[in-house]
């Protein structure tokens, strides 16, 4: 496994994140030796959801997590990559935060990996990062992605330069591997 010692990864999320899309990439990065910092609108604990593919409902998760920093305290210069978990509500709330969009755009300008899964490509749209890029995302955001100028494909993970996208929780192993490879390369 790639060792990511001295690698700092920022994750940003708020209430309504998809539980597995935050915790699984976070754990994979920690296991690889990276330091992972979670930022949110403020430092109050945030609660996710757990999507049930059978009922297509997303009940509130039993887990919460306390962010390490508020968005206003974060500078992209101090990190090597940004990871954006999905869920329906989380990216919709986060894309209304100018500081979140500015951070994502800063990572992209600096050529650092920007990784988004599920509904999180909404944040890439808001930061105007999809024009002319190959990407994927959850089925219901694909038309938005296309309208933002992306060539949308139906693949578990798509890497286009420093942009890494995945469709859904089932794609997390491929997503994690791509993020770790981008940081270890």
Q: Tokens representing 30? A: 């920690």
User: What's the CA gap between 165 and 174, in Å, rounded?
Assistant: 10
The span from the CA of 141 to the CA of 122, in Å, is 7
Q: Which of 26, 112, 119, 167 is catalytic?
A: 119
CA dist 13 → 17, 52, 149, 152 (Å): 6, 20, 25, 24
DSSP H helical ranges for 44-97: 89-94
Question: How would you label 138-171 residue by residue, b for 16+ Cβ within 10 Å and e otherwise?
Answer: beebbebbeebebebeeebbbbbebbbbbbbbeb
Please indicate whether residue 119 is annotated as part of the active site.
Answer: yes
Active-site residue list: 119
């Amino acid at each position: 496994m790639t060792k990511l010692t001295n690698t700092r990864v920022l994750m940003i999320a708020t209430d309504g994140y998809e539980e597995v899309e935050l915790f699984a990439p976070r754990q994979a990065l920690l296991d690889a030796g990276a330091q992972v910092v979670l930022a949110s609108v403020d430092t109050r604990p945030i609660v996710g959801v757990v999507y049930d593919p059978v009922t297509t409902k997303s009940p509130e998760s039993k887990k919460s997590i306390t962010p390490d920093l508020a968005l206003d305290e974060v500078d992209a210069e101090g990190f090597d990559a940004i990871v954006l978990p999905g869920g329906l509500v989380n990216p919709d709330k986060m894309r209304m935060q100018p500081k979140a969009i500015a951070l994502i755009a800063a990572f992209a300008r600096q050529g650092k990996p920007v990784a988004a899964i599920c509904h999180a490509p909404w944040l890439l749209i808001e930061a105007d990062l999809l024009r002319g890029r190959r990407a994927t995302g959850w089925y219901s955001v694909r038309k938005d992605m296309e309208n933002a100028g992306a060539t949308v494909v139906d693949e578990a993970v798509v890497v286009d330069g420093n942009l890494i996208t995945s469709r859904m929780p089932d794609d997390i192993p491929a997503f994690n591997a791509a993020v770790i490879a981008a940081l270890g390369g």
